[in-house]
Amino acid sequence: DAGITQSPRHKVTETGTPVTLRCHQTENHRYMYWYRQDPGHGLRLIHYSYGVKDTDKGEVSDGYSVSRSKTEDFLLTLESATSSQTSVYFCAISESQGTGNEKLFFGSGTQLSVL
């Protein structure tokens, strides 16, 4: 398995509280991604990073922020969690982008429930 660790694996929180999910990689890959996966939907990109302190929004970025202060860590923050953010969150990494061979490696996922 690619060295990707997501924490926590499960979290239950209340509406309005801040939540931070962590993704840690040991592969030294440049690109890191946060996706959410909901029933009936494909994986949807929240934010991604193309280097330390270099991040960009995905298709469902509202309500989320990210930070990447080190190559190995990519944090996803829900500033004020809402029930619509109940989902499974996946972190992924890739070595490159736009080269035609950039398959993604995924973490184990975080099940987040916002009550």
Partner 1 sequence: ILNVEQSPQSLHVQEGDSTNFTCSFPSSNFYALHWYRWETAKSPEALFVMTLNGDEKKKGRISATLNTKEGYSYLYIKGSQPEDSATYLCAFMGDSNYQLIWGAGTKLIIKP
Cβ closest to partner 1, residue 53 vs residue 100: 100
Site for partner 1 in 64-93 (CB under 8 A): 90
Please select the residue that binds partner 1; options are 16, 18, 41, 80, rule is CB under 8 A.
Answer: 41
Tokens coding 73: 């860590």
Q: Which long-range contacts (CB under 8 A, 24 or more apart) does 82-88 make?
A: 82/15, 82/114, 83/15, 83/114, 83/115, 84/114, 85/112, 85/114, 86/112, 86/113, 86/114, 87/36, 87/37, 87/38, 87/112, 88/36, 88/37, 88/38, 88/112
In the bound complex, what is the minimum distance in angstroms from residue 24's beta carbon to partner 1? Answer: 14
100 binds partner 1 (CB under 8 A): yes
15 binds partner 1 (CB under 8 A): no
53 binds partner 1 (CB under 8 A): no
What gap in Å lies between CA 65 and CA 56, rounded to an integer?
10
62 binds partner 1 (CB under 8 A): no
Cβ closest to partner 1, residue 37 vs residue 84: 37
Binding-site size for partner 1 (CB under 8 A) equals: 21
